[in-house]
Amino acid sequence: MDLNQGQRTLGASGLRATGAGEGVVRLAITGPGGYSATQESRITIRSPRPAGREVVLSSIPAGQTARIAPNLQAYYAGTVTVRATWGQPVRYDPAALMRAAVDFAFACSEQASSRIMALSAFPYEEERDARLDSYIRQLLDKQRYDGSLGLWSSQGDADRFVTSYGAEALLRARTAGATVPEGPMNALLQSIRDGVEESGIDEPYDRAVQAYRLHVLAMAGRPNPGAARRLYEVLNDLPTPLSRAQLGAAFARMGDRERAEASFNAALSMPPRRFWYQDYGSPIRDNLAIALLLKESGVLPNRLNEVVGRLPGPEFNPNTASTQEAAWAVATAAALGRDGRPVRVSVGGSAAAPAPVVSQRISPPVDVRNNGEGALPQAVSIIGLPVQAPPAGREGMRISRRFLTMQGEAVNLDQLRQNQVFILWVEARAETNETHRAMVQQGLPAGWEIVGRFGEGDVPAAPFLGTLSEAESFPALDDRFAAAVTLTPGSPVARYAVRVRAVTAGRFELPGAEVRDMYRPNIYARQNTGRITIAPVQ
Percent residues over pLDDT 90 in the chain: 84
Beta strands in 61-213 (DSSP E): 65-68, 81-86
298 within a domain of the structure (yes/no): yes
pLDDT of residue 312: 95
Q: Is 44's pLDDT higher than 80? A: no
Residue from 264, 109, 74 nearest 184 by CA: 109
Q: Mean per-residue pLDDT for 505-511?
A: 94
Asked whether the beta carbons of 437 and 277 are under 8 A apart, the reply is yes
Amino acid at 119: L
Residues 6+ apart with CB under 8 A from 350: none
Q: Mean per-residue pLDDT for 449-471?
A: 95
Tens of pLDDT, residues 383-420: 999 999 999 999 999 999 999 999 999 999 999 999 99
2 within a domain of the structure (yes/no): no
d(CA 173, CA 331): 11
pLDDT of residue 535: 95
In angstroms and rounded to an integer, the radius of gyration of the C-alpha atoms of the chain is 26
Q: Are residues 137 and 270 in the same domain?
A: yes
Beta strands in 95-144 (DSSP E): none
**136-154: buried (b, 16+ CB within 10 Å) or exposed (e) per residue?**
bebbbebbbeebbbbbbee
Q: Which position has the higher pLDDT, 7 or 457?
A: 457
d(CA 163, CA 154): 12
Tens of pLDDT, residues 97-150: 999 999 998 999 999 999 999 999 999 988 999 999 999 999 999 999 999 999
Q: Mean per-residue pLDDT for 177-198?
A: 97
1 within a domain of the structure (yes/no): no
pLDDT of residue 49: 82
Q: Are residues 318 and 348 in the same domain?
A: no
Task: Tell me which residue range forms the domain holding 84.
Answer: 51-89+341-388
Chain centroid, CA 349 distance in Å: 36
How many H-runs (helices) and E-runs (strands) does the chain carry? 12, 23
Q: Mean per-residue pLDDT for 319-342?
A: 93
Q: Mean per-residue pLDDT for 17-39?
A: 77
Q: Are residues 233 and 95 in the same domain?
A: yes
**477-506: buried (b, 16+ CB within 10 Å) or exposed (e) per residue?**
bebbbbbbbebeeeebebbbbbebbbeeee
d(CA 191, CA 168): 14
pLDDT of residue 272: 84
H or E stretch including 514?
strand 514-517
Residue from 48, 51, 50 nearest 443 by CA: 48
Q: Is 2's pLDDT higher than 50? A: no
Q: Are residues 40 and 61 in the same domain?
A: no
Q: Mean per-residue pLDDT for 167-183?
A: 97
pLDDT of residue 18: 53
Q: Is 335's pLDDT higher than 90? A: yes
pLDDT of residue 22: 61
Asked whether the beta carbons of 453 and 474 are under 8 A apart, the reply is yes
pLDDT of residue 21: 58
Q: Are residues 171 and 316 in the same domain?
A: yes
| Number of domains the chain contains | 4
pLDDT of residue 503: 94
DSSP β-ladder status, 530-535 and 416-417? parallel
Q: Are residues 325 and 455 in the same domain?
A: no
Q: Are residues 98 and 139 in the same domain?
A: yes
Among the candidates 270, 304, 339, a domain finishes at: 339
Q: Are residues 127 and 81 in the same domain?
A: no
d(CA 222, CA 88): 33
Q: Where residue 286 falls among pLDDT bands split at 50, 70, 90?
A: very high
Of the ranges 123-127, 169-173, 285-289, 492-496, which one carries the lowest mean pLDDT score?
Answer: 123-127
pLDDT of residue 79: 92
Q: What is the CATH number of the domain that holds 442?
A: 2.60.40.1510
Q: Are residues 505 and 369 in the same domain?
A: no
Which residues lie across from 25 on neighbouring strands? 10, 41
Tens of pLDDT, residues 430-439: 999 999 999 9
Q: What is the CATH number of the domain that holds 360?
A: 2.60.120.10
Q: Mean per-residue pLDDT for 478-496?
A: 96
User: Which own/partner contact pairs does 218-221 have at CB distance under 8 Å and 24+ positions apart?
Assistant: 218/249, 218/250, 218/253, 218/254, 219/168, 219/171, 219/253, 220/167, 220/171, 220/189
User: Which own/partner contact pairs does 464-469 have at CB distance under 8 Å and 24+ positions apart?
Assistant: 464/404, 464/408, 465/408, 465/423, 465/425, 465/495, 465/497, 466/495, 467/495, 468/495, 468/496, 468/497, 469/493, 469/494, 469/495, 469/496
Helix, strand, coil percentages (3-state) for the chain, rounded to 5, are 30, 30, 40
Q: Mean per-residue pLDDT for 472-501?
A: 95
Q: Where residue 365 falls among pLDDT bands split at 50, 70, 90?
A: very high
Q: Are residues 347 and 366 in the same domain?
A: yes
Chain centroid, CA 449 distance in Å: 25
**295-327: buried (b, 16+ CB within 10 Å) or exposed (e) per residue?**
bebebbeeebeebbeebbeeebbbeebbbbbbb
d(CA 82, CA 89): 20
Q: What is the CATH number of the domain that holds 96?
A: 1.50.10.20
In this structure, the number of other CB atoms found within 10 A of the CB of residue 446 comes to 15
DSSP 323-388: HHHHHHHHHHHHHHHTTSPPB-EEETTEEPPPBSSEEEEE-SSEEEEE-SSS-EEEEEEEEE-BSS
Q: Are residues 146 and 203 in the same domain?
A: yes
pLDDT of residue 12: 36
Distances (CA, A) of 492 to 95, 109, 436, 470, 471: 36, 24, 9, 13, 13
Among the candidates 305, 323, 339, a domain finishes at: 339
Percent residues over pLDDT 70 in the chain: 95
Q: Mean per-residue pLDDT for 323-327?
A: 96
Which residues lie across from 526 on neighbouring strands? 393, 514
d(CA 43, CA 57): 37
Three-state DSSP state, 217:
helix
Q: Are residues 136 and 261 in the same domain?
A: yes
Q: Mean per-residue pLDDT for 529-533?
A: 94
Q: Is 4's pLDDT higher than 50? A: no
Chain centroid, CA 269 distance in Å: 30
Q: Is 156's pLDDT higher than 90? A: yes
77 within a domain of the structure (yes/no): yes
67 within a domain of the structure (yes/no): yes
Amino acid at 382: I
Q: Which stretch, 1-5, 207-211, 474-478, has highest mean pLDDT?
A: 207-211
Asked whether the beta carbons of 25 and 17 are under 8 A apart, the reply is no
d(CA 370, CA 347): 9
